[in-house]
Amino acid sequence: MDDPIENRGGDPTAAGALGDVLVELRHVNKHFGQLHVLRDIDLEVGQGEVLVVIGPSGSGKSTLCRAINRLETIDSGTILIDGVPLPEEGKGLAKLRSDVGMVFQSFNLFAHKTVLDNVTLGPIKVRGVKREAARKQAMELLDRVGVADQAAKLPAQLSGGQQQRVAIARALAMHPKVMLFDEPTSALDPEMINEVLDVMVQLAGEGITMIVVTHEMGFARKAAHRVVFMADGQIVEQATPEEFFTNPRSERAKDFLSKILTH
Amino acid sequence: MDSVIEALPVYLDGFRLTLYLAAISGALSLVLGTVLAAFRVSPLRSLRLIGTLVVEVGRNTPLTLVFIFFVFILPGIGIILPLGTLPAIIALTVYTSAFVCEAVRSGINSVGIGQAEAARAIGLGSVQTLTLVVLPQALRTVVPPLINVLIALTKNTSVAAGFAVVELTATGRGLARDYPADVIWMLLGVAFFYLVITIPAGAIAGSIERRVVFSR
């Protein structure tokens, strides 16, 4: 339970190395009833950084991700986005969420709206963008994620991989400061995982700040600046992907990696 | 049978008033009930409390008592409503809204939580989340129970007969008195005119239901 947090000496991957701190968590705690899901989490994510959070199920990594746009409330501590603490409720919170893109495990595309309308809804209703401009931008984004030809369809008519790429386009349409990915490929059939990961690698290459909860080691190696390993609600270890996968320090991380790497 | 045809103009007067009561109270109940449902799922505790209170009072009070309240009690404490159909419309609306609210709320709950989360995640406020994302999807599960509520409302308008509103049932009572030999025919006539409202309502509901269907 009380594994010491093993931080690498010198911490070459610290947020500061990549620019100003964009997302900052200080002493964040959360309980689900008796369960202490986030234990005194401290984390900084820099501008342009791609951070991968991995860990066994129940380690709190999804909760951490969802806490950053307050889809989960926290019991204590502070979360700052661009230096501003998360507002409690109301207009301030909505404003903040519009600046934080979120991609869900289960896509959550608006089932009653076409692909195009899914992407334009936020810009039109939240940002006040004119319909035509919003459509133009949406088509560009859909083209970028490779589903422009599906624009007129309803989400249910698309494959999982296509739906998730639309979800990414929907989040990007708000021009977010940071993108949160909560296990974006976990609900996908194996043959569709790569089409989503390719888009994410592309985004990472464009300098978008990303916090990605995933088990995709390939993505972490290819695109991440830093890997954070969580277990039992704590950050147990953080390092560059190369270091983490080849030479994990903590027993929990070694144990976890041995389980997912050997089949 | 002949006397029913002879009494047709009288029936039609009553029918018109019943249709009027049902249509106005129905429209108002749909609006008020939806607002109450929004209250009941609001993030604000005080709104949830108000919603719950109105619904519990509305649906647990016999309709006749609601009528008595608006027709006799309110004037008794100095709040005079204009006579005629207005107290009946208010009573029917208050009562029916509670049931509309619960039907709409069950529809809201049938929409996956992920839909609301995705809406909030792109920065929509709670009212926008409800009106742009959740309610349109709730509609499809809400239509059948709502039609039940509206059919019940149509029949409930007959309570107004006891409060000096000469709608269909009051008309039938009068006709039964005027044609004592044909009481059964007269009352069957009344039933027929209720069916003229409720059966098309069911058919309209069916067509709305087909139109709002989409696959998840």
pLDDT digits (tens, 9 = 90+) for B135-146: 999 988 899 899
Q: Which of B150, B142, B121 lies closest to B26 in space, CA to CA?
A: B150
Q: Which of B106, B127, B133, B104 lies closest to B29 in space, CA to CA?
A: B104
3-state secondary structure of A186: coil
CB contact under 8 Å between B121 and A109, yes or no, is no
Contacts of A112 in chain B (CB under 8 A): 133, 136-137, 214
Q: Is B137 part of the contact surface with chain A (CB cutoff 8 Å)?
A: yes
With a cut of 80, say whether residue B212 has pLDDT above it. Answer: no
Q: From the CB of residue A189, how many other CB atoms can be counted at a distance below 10 Å?
A: 10
CA distance B133 to chain A (A): 7
The residue-averaged pLDDT of A209-224 equals 92
Q: Is A152 part of the contact surface with chain B (CB cutoff 8 Å)?
A: no
Structure tokens at A104: 């869900």
CB contact under 8 Å between B117 and A99, yes or no, is no
- In chain B, what are the domain boundaries? 2-215
Percent of chain A residues past pLDDT 70, beyond the cut: 92
Identify the residue among A69, A93, A112, A163 best suited for mutation to test binding to B, counting B beta carbons within 10 A and taking the highest: A112
Res B1: pLDDT: 67
ipTM of the complex: 0.87
CA distance A254 to chain B (A): 34
Res A15: pLDDT: 45
Q: Is B115 part of the contact surface with chain A (CB cutoff 8 Å)?
A: yes
DSSP chain B: -HHHHHTHHHHHHHHHHHHHHHHHHHHHHHHHHHHHHHHHT-S-HHHHHHHHHHHHHHHHS-HHHHHHIIIIIHHHTT-PPPSSSHHHHHHHHHHHHHHHHHHHHHHHHHS-HHHHHHHHHTT--HHHIIIIIIHHHHHHHHHHHHHHHHHHHHHHGGGGGGGT---HHHHHHHHHHH-GGGHHHHHHHHHHHHHHHHHHHHHHHHHHHHHH----
3-state secondary structure of A160: helix
CB contact under 8 Å between B214 and A154, yes or no, is yes
CB contact under 8 Å between B120 and A97, yes or no, is yes
Q: Is A99 part of the contact surface with chain B (CB cutoff 8 Å)?
A: yes
- The CATH code that applies to domain B2-215 is 1.10.3720.10
Which residues does B34 contact at the CB level (< 8 Å), separation at least 6? Answer: B100, B101, B104, B135
Structure tokens at B107: 């529809």
Q: What residues does A45 pair with on adjacent strands? A: A23
Q: What is the pTM of this model?
A: 0.84
Q: Is B127 part of the contact surface with chain A (CB cutoff 8 Å)?
A: no
Give the pLDDT confidence of B110-119 residue by residue, as tens digits: 998 999 999 9
Give the pLDDT confidence of B4-47 residue by residue, as tens digits: 888 889 899 999 999 999 999 999 999 999 999 999 998 889 99
Which residues does A259 contact at the CB level (< 8 Å), separation at least 6? Answer: none
pLDDT band per the 50, 70, 90 thresholds, residue B214 = low
With a cut of 80, say whether residue A16 has pLDDT above it. Answer: no
Interatomic CA distance for residues A230 and A112, integer angstroms:
37
Interatomic CA distance for residues A99 and A164, integer angstroms:
19
> CB under 8 Å, gap of 24 or more: what pairs does A216-225 form?
A216/A185, A217/A245, A217/A260, A217/A261, A219/A52, A220/A52, A220/A54, A220/A244, A220/A245, A221/A245, A223/A50, A223/A52, A224/A50, A224/A51, A224/A52, A225/A13, A225/A18, A225/A49, A225/A50, A225/A51
pLDDT band per the 50, 70, 90 thresholds, residue B3 = confident
With a cut of 60, say whether residue A247 has pLDDT above it. Answer: yes
CA distance B54 to chain A (A): 25
